[in-house]
Structure 1
């Protein structure tokens, strides 16, 4: 499975990203506009688009497909559900980049007992440092 990364421009937190996606969602899906269609688009259907916020991979959305947009641009059709992941450092870049399945961070479901017992401020700080 192949994934992709993209910077969440203008978003300083996963909550802001989630609000932005939810506002544009229709029937549980939304589209992300990008200039160029990935040459390996067929390999990414069913994979995820991983969002970069503050130089960290922080959340993902499932890629449902690719469509042609206006002026030759590409629309990435994604599930509207934003899934937090275990933060991992990732330098910002323009456009999108491929991400191999082995390099993708695991989902952060918050079910770890140790993490659940920590104060939210501590979890936020440790997450910002990519330690959890």
Structure 2
């Protein structure tokens, strides 16, 4: 968050989840995210570091954004660059999530190929 220029002193609780490789049930395995959803209230602002952090897939990110909207929370992604209010269209952000996942998977595949060739 600091790398994105987010002043952590002005925000409340910070959560971070780790999911194991090959996990297929993010709604039950991302426990910290579930706690965040239980505690989110109307008017709260949830700060997400990057589109990649919204979920393990575009479908998962769509679910997470819908849950936050239902709570009435405002979501900011990349610091203040992108703000989503309850009722806003999430389609552009979901395209960015899909793109971020594609870039990540390509980067991992290239790293594996380089390691194999050595």
Structure 1 length normalisation: TM-score? 0.25
Structure 2 length normalisation: TM-score? 0.26
Considering fraction of residues, name the structure with more helix: 2
Considering fraction of residues, name the structure with more strand: 1
* Structure with larger RCO (C-alpha < 8 A, sep 6+): 1
